[in-house]
Amino acid sequence: MIVSTELEQKGNLFPSEIINYKKEVDTLHFFTKNGVVLQVTVVRDSVIRFRYSTTGKFENDFSYGVTIHASRGYSFLDVTENATHYILTTSKLICKVEKLSLQVSLFDALDLKLINEDEIGFHWEESYEFGGDIVKMSKACQKAESFYGLGDKPVEVNLKGKRFENWATDSYAFGKDTDPIYKAIPFYTAIQENKAYGIFFDNTFKSHFDFAQERRNVTSFWAQGGEMNYYFMYGPAMEDVVKNYTDLTGKPHTLPPLWALGFHQCKWSYYPESNVKEVTKTFRDLKIPCDAIYLDIDYMEGFRCFTWDKKHFPDPKRMVKELEDDGFKTVVIIDPGIKIDLEYDVFKEALDKDYFCKRADGPYMKGKVWPGECYFPDYTKPEVREWWSGLFKELIEDIGVKGVWNDMNEPAVMDVPNKSFPDDVRHDYDGNPCSHRKAHNIYGTQMARATYHGLKKYAYPKRPFVITRSAYSGAQRYTSTWMGDNVATWEHLAIANNQAQRMAMSGFSFAGSDIGGFAGQPQGELFARWIQLGVFHAFCRVHSSGDHGNQEPWVFGDEVTDIVRKFVELRYQLLPYLYTAFWRYVNDGTPILKSLVLYDQEDTATHYRSDEFVYGEQILICPILEPNAKGRRMYIPRGKWYNFWTNELLEGGKEYWVDANIDSMPIFIKEGAIIPKYPVQQYVGEKKFDEITLEVYYKEGKEASILYDDAHDGYDYKKGRFSLRTFQVTGKKEELIIQQHKRGEFNADYSKYKMVFHNLPFTITAIQIDNVAIKLEDLNISGSQTISIKKEFSELHLFGK
Ligand code: MIG
């Protein structure tokens, strides 16, 4: 035991030696002389849970973060002991528990190398004020170790040398070093010696993480209450760590409807109806694709949720229908604060049924938000969530609203110093009554969850769409998210880039920033650069506070309007590619955005890079983050990449200068990729088309690509009505072979592929489809680089000279 007198003097307590242990199936308990119990559970071969009790008794084992759908089961588990340790072995991990100190160390079961070890390990401080413990964990940090994750932190991607807090906070105009902000996602991935592992500290109390900030060789995390309860997830690939975490905390329950991946326009606020229509009409007039228009708080009657301001929106059902006819889905905001007003049925019902949060001694939790003094539903109570879901019936089923935007759910309260509920507020916590100290960080997630279930029910058979501001681990199962109130500055463009990447590696890929900035007014150039980045985030929405004029694509003049159109059109062309990436995310937890470290962790040059990221599997993006740029230096990861604009092929593993005037940005395509494209549409489903484009980027050698498709809405895909096409490209000096495999029963409307070949090193002289020679003139060859063929084939063979 490393006895730290300094820590002892500060009131810390430590486990003493193990006196006993017991094993039941997948769980071991170690008992120390001073009454500490360590529970070790093998969740999967590569996932082990550690849980500590200082009283001999564990809390009720309940988690909002871990899903019941998480995979469990292991192929091998063995426990032995020697003079100093207990040794637990799975097919992936060896875990040693030291008899004298309860300290844990973890090794790779294959090469026996150390992955991670406790420094002091578990220790705690008794909390006189609240009872229970302040639970702490310290782990040794290796010299070249790097750290990633933690949700929405605005800083650069690598967290090493920094300390953070997790406490959901309304953070208007936050800055790069503001911490905490809206979300609490206590999960990180670390990489050392090319081995990546993750730690998910599943504790909803205020928690802290220190990545070798206080002490160079120590990483630690602690929480103000609850149990030391964490999951250790081994890669060794970072992508597998993230997948394991996403599996544990849940993938989205459904794919989003495809329209939700289109471009969205928002402002605080569009009203009255004529203003909404003017905006949507201008999108169509200017031919800038757009799928959704948002109504912020002013659509309501005195900010009462589930009401309409009939002066500005006399007939919402008609308006929503007319917008829909023009290809716009309507998304409305719903906040948690319910106005204290006995004439207001939502308030009255919740009051009668006792659904509002109360203070410790019984009074209601009263707080000021937009409607004035409000009470707040306790979304941590199942009955309240069910009631809340039911409130959406009229909005969704009758009026036809297609998506709901949950704001202020940290929860935010105005004019109070801590910006939220006081600590003593009581919550049900699904039958585990507790104070706000424990429920604060999951309040927003439970609201979004109840909202999601309402939409799911009343939008049926269509898919629900929800967006939330606050989130805890697991919120990704129900909702998309945005980063809250950012600012129209260049620094915030970089922050948006960091945050979207960080959210993706924190299991939450359906995320995006307020494009152009919420607070303040962007210059046209900044707006254009932000659009260029934003179209490569899974959630793509322009939003602004509206107190500084307008932020629609056309208010910055023709040049910017044209740039916006060009990039939004590109987003719409790439929808099948994004949808495929989303399917991977929903299917196996693969993050839609990949920071370069996640893409290629073996290359240590990527470990501190934040600017570039891989979008999906095969498109490399690097935003321009400075004014007046004609291009920039960027790192191209290993492998060969085609410049999307020029088709120039670059060898990665080093930095390059890449040209990018204001109407361009650095985009690269991985050699050998097949990138699917739809025709440009003004909104999803606008056109029926008989042909999609496959951009084929020649490679000498092999590369696989996939294309997922289904009906773009509804649930038939869960019953096998999807198609998953795998393309295997094999390029040779004077040949190119594309093999296609299809799985699933869905058959898209289009019957043909237009194949555009990039950088073929030969001129096509002959073509075979499934071993039958085809006349070149039957394929509508334009130039020698494009053909049009029936989509169902197994093997396409190009011969050339
Ligand atoms: O106190 O509803 O982050 O997106 O426009 C501000 C008004 C409340 C904060 C959200 C922002 C939204 C605004 N809301």
Q: Which domains does the chain have, with CATH numbers?
A: 5-235 (2.60.40.1760), 593-670 (2.60.40.1180), 688-800 (2.60.40.1180)
Ligand 1 centroid vs 790 CA: distance in angstroms?
A: 49
Pseudo-torsion of CA 86, 90, 95, 97, nearest 10°? -20
Query: Among residues 2, 499, 41, which one has the least CA distance to residue 218?
Result: 2
Structure confidence at residue 778 (pLDDT): 80
To test the pocket of ligand 1, the residue of 294, 295, 296, 492 to mutate (highest count of ligand atoms within 8 Å of its CB) is 296
Q: Is the CB of 140 under 6 A from ligand 1?
A: no
Q: Is the CB of 44 under 6 A from ligand 1?
A: no
Ligand 1 centroid vs 546 CA: distance in angstroms?
A: 10
Query: Among residues 252, 769, 710, which one has the least CA distance to residue 475?
Result: 252
User: Which element (helix H / strand E) includes 367?
Assistant: strand 367-369
Atom of ligand 1 nearest to the CA of 543: 4
Ligand 1 centroid vs 209 CA: distance in angstroms?
A: 28
Ligand 1 centroid vs 163 CA: distance in angstroms?
A: 28
3-state secondary structure at position 470: coil
Ligand 1 centroid vs 446 CA: distance in angstroms?
A: 19
Structure confidence at residue 547 (pLDDT): 87
CB contact at 8 A, 233 and 196 = no
Six token digits for residue 469: 């501001």
Ligand 1 centroid vs 291 CA: distance in angstroms?
A: 21
Distance of CA 288 to the CA centre of its chain: 26
Q: Is the CB of 305 under 6 A from ligand 1?
A: no
Q: Is the CB of 553 under 6 A from ligand 1?
A: no
Atom of ligand 1 nearest to the CA of 412: 1
Ligand 1 centroid vs 335 CA: distance in angstroms?
A: 10
Atom of ligand 1 nearest to the CA of 333: 2
43 contact partners, CB below 8 Å, separation of at least 6: 26, 49, 70, 72, 74, 231, 248
| pLDDT tens digits for range 731-750 | 999 999 999 999 999 999 99
Atom of ligand 1 nearest to the CA of 335: 2
679 burial (CB, 10 Å; 0-12 / 13-18 / 19+) is: middle
Label residue 302 left, alpha or beta by phi (over 0 means left) and psi (-120 to 50 means alpha): left
Q: Is the CB of 469 under 6 A from ligand 1?
A: yes
Give the whole-angstrom CA distance, residue 443 versus residue 437.
11
Q: Is the CB of 336 under 6 A from ligand 1?
A: no
3 contact partners, CB below 8 Å, separation of at least 6: 14
To test the pocket of ligand 1, the residue of 267, 482, 485 to mutate (highest count of ligand atoms within 8 Å of its CB) is 485
Identify each DSSP E strand in 99-177 by its residue range: 104-108, 114-126, 133-140, 146-149, 163-166
Q: Is the CB of 98 under 6 A from ligand 1?
A: no
Q: Is the CB of 294 under 6 A from ligand 1?
A: no
Q: Is the CB of 371 under 6 A from ligand 1?
A: no
Query: Among residues 524, 536, 598, which one has the least CA distance to residue 567?
Result: 536
Give the whole-angstrom CA distance, residue 3 versus residue 296.
56
Give the whole-angstrom CA distance, residue 532 versus residue 298.
30
Q: Is the CB of 297 under 6 A from ligand 1?
A: yes
Q: Tell me which residue has its CA closest to atom 5 in ligand 1.
A: 268
707 contact partners, CB below 8 Å, separation of at least 6: 576, 580, 674, 676, 723, 724, 725, 727
Strands 18-24 vs 764-769: parallel, antiparallel or unpaired: unpaired
To test the pocket of ligand 1, the residue of 172, 268, 332, 487 to mutate (highest count of ligand atoms within 8 Å of its CB) is 268
User: Which element (helix H / strand E) includes 741?
Assistant: strand 735-743
Q: Is the CB of 403 under 6 A from ligand 1?
A: no
Q: Tell me how far CA of residue 474 lies from CA of 70, 167, 465, 585, in angstroms.
A: 11, 16, 16, 14
Structure confidence at residue 1 (pLDDT): 46
3-state secondary structure at position 187: strand
Identify each DSSP E strand in 160-194 by its residue range: 163-166, 183-184, 187-192
Six token digits for residue 400: 């036809």
CB contact at 8 A, 276 and 315 = no
Residues forming a β-bridge with 228: 52
Q: Rounded to 5 degrees, what angle do the CA atoms 576, 577, 583 make?
A: 85
Q: Tell me which residue has its CA closest to atom 12 in ligand 1.
A: 268
To test the pocket of ligand 1, the residue of 297, 369, 407 to mutate (highest count of ligand atoms within 8 Å of its CB) is 407
Report the b/e string of 475-494 with b at 16+ CB within 10 A.
bbbbbbbbbbbbbbbbebbb
Residue 279 identity = V
Pseudo-torsion of CA 712, 718, 720, 724, nearest 10°? 50
Structure confidence at residue 9 (pLDDT): 82
Q: Tell me which residue has its CA closest to atom 6 in ligand 1.
A: 408
Ligand 1 centroid vs 320 CA: distance in angstroms?
A: 22
What backbone phi and psi angles, to 5 degrees, belong to 313?
-135, 75
Q: Is the CB of 296 under 6 A from ligand 1?
A: yes
Atom of ligand 1 nearest to the CA of 370: 1
Structure confidence at residue 299 (pLDDT): 98
Q: Is the CB of 738 under 6 A from ligand 1?
A: no
3-state secondary structure at position 80: strand
Give the whole-angstrom CA distance, residue 603 versus residue 202.
31
* CA atoms within a 13 Å half-sphere pointing along the CA-CB vector of 507: 35
Query: Among residues 737, 755, 795, 801, which one has the least CA distance to residue 771?
Result: 795
Q: Is the CB of 295 under 6 A from ligand 1?
A: no
Q: Is the CB of 170 under 6 A from ligand 1?
A: no
3-state secondary structure at position 724: strand
CB atoms within 10 A of CB 785: 16
Q: With a cut of 70, which residues of the chain have pLDDT below it? A: 1-4, 782-784
To test the pocket of ligand 1, the residue of 169, 266, 408 to mutate (highest count of ligand atoms within 8 Å of its CB) is 408
Q: Is the CB of 484 under 6 A from ligand 1?
A: yes
CB contact at 8 A, 94 and 112 = yes
User: Which element (helix H / strand E) includes 451?
Assistant: helix 436-459
Ligand 1 centroid vs 208 CA: distance in angstroms?
A: 27
123 burial (CB, 10 Å; 0-12 / 13-18 / 19+) is: buried
Ligand 1 centroid vs 137 CA: distance in angstroms?
A: 37
Q: Rounded to 5 degrees, what angle do the CA atoms 731, 737, 742 make?
A: 125
778 contact partners, CB below 8 Å, separation of at least 6: none
Distance of CA 420 to the CA centre of its chain: 25
Give the whole-angstrom CA distance, residue 793 versus residue 347.
60
Which residues are known to be catalytic?
407, 410, 485
Atom of ligand 1 nearest to the CA of 545: 5
Six token digits for residue 458: 């009343």
Ligand 1 centroid vs 266 CA: distance in angstroms?
A: 11
Structure confidence at residue 135 (pLDDT): 98
The terminus-to-terminus CA distance of the chain in angstroms comes to 72
Q: Tell me how far CA of residue 480 lies from CA of 483, 503, 537, in angstroms.
A: 10, 11, 12
Ligand 1 centroid vs 565 CA: distance in angstroms?
A: 27
Give the whole-angstrom CA distance, residue 797 versus residue 791.
14
DSSP, residue by residue, 619-640? EEE----STT-SEEEEEEPSSE
Q: How many residues belong to the chain?
A: 801
Structure confidence at residue 776 (pLDDT): 83
Q: Tell me which residue has its CA closest to atom 13 in ligand 1.
A: 268
Give the whole-angstrom CA distance, residue 282 versus residue 312.
20
Atom of ligand 1 nearest to the CA of 484: 3
Ligand 1 centroid vs 407 CA: distance in angstroms?
A: 7
Residues forming a β-bridge with 207: 166, 223
Structure confidence at residue 174 (pLDDT): 98
DSSP, residue by residue, 539-590? S-EE---SBTB--SGGGG-HHHHHHHHHHHHHHHHTHHHHHHHHHHHHHH--
Give the whole-angstrom CA distance, residue 633 versus residue 778.
45
Give the whole-angstrom CA distance, residue 388 versus residue 238.
38
Q: Is the CB of 410 under 6 A from ligand 1?
A: no
Q: Rounded to 5 degrees, what angle do the CA atoms 400, 403, 407 make?
A: 130
Q: Is the CB of 174 under 6 A from ligand 1?
A: no
Q: Is the CB of 485 under 6 A from ligand 1?
A: yes
303 contact partners, CB below 8 Å, separation of at least 6: 297, 335, 339, 369, 370, 371, 372
Atom of ligand 1 nearest to the CA of 485: 3
CB contact at 8 A, 661 and 688 = no
Find where tokens 């990018």 sit: 660
Label residue 624 left, alpha or beta by phi (over 0 means left) and psi (-120 to 50 means alpha): beta
Give the whole-angstrom CA distance, residue 173 versus residue 171.
6
Residues forming a β-bridge with 708: 724
Ligand 1 centroid vs 371 CA: distance in angstroms?
A: 13
Ligand 1 centroid vs 267 CA: distance in angstroms?
A: 9
540 contact partners, CB below 8 Å, separation of at least 6: 261, 262, 263, 264, 512, 515, 534, 571
Q: Is the CB of 407 under 6 A from ligand 1?
A: yes
Q: Is the CB of 333 under 6 A from ligand 1?
A: yes
CB contact at 8 A, 202 and 229 = yes
3-state secondary structure at position 443: helix
